[in-house]
Amino acid sequence: MPLAEALNRLDAAVAALERAGGRRLERDRRGGDLPAELALAQDDRARLAVELDGALARVATLEAVTSDVDERLSSALGRVEAVLAGEEGSGS
């Protein structure tokens, strides 16, 4: 059985290689598109870099805001706990 499985895998690999070769030949026949495709890829890369920079800036802003909110909530919680402790201590 292992030999049959190996032969099946070999047949599948050869078929995939033939399909890839056919696609490559077709692409080569169409030709001339490579510079245009490269320009499009570079434009996409530049656009994505700008979007990434914007996203990173938003993340930094959100982290700063989150830190500020955390500090304010901690401070408010401390004041509430102090008030509650004062009420318990006064017996009210």
Query: Residue range 65-87: average pLDDT?
Result: 96
Q: What rounded mean pLDDT belongs to the chain? A: 90
Given CA atoms 63, 67, 68, 73 in this order, what sign does their dihedral have? positive
Domain range for 87 is 32-92
Q: Both 37 and 6 in a single domain?
A: no
Structure tokens that stand for 57 in this block:
């800036």
Q: What is the pTM of this model?
A: 0.50
Pick the closest to residue 84 from 2, 52, 76 (CA basis): 76
Structural domains in the chain (count)? 2
Comparison of pLDDT for 74 and 5, the residue scoring more: 74
Q: Are residues 13 and 24 in the same domain?
A: yes
In this predicted model, which residue has the larger pLDDT, 61 or 33?
A: 61
User: Are residues 91 and 64 located together in one domain of the fold?
Assistant: yes
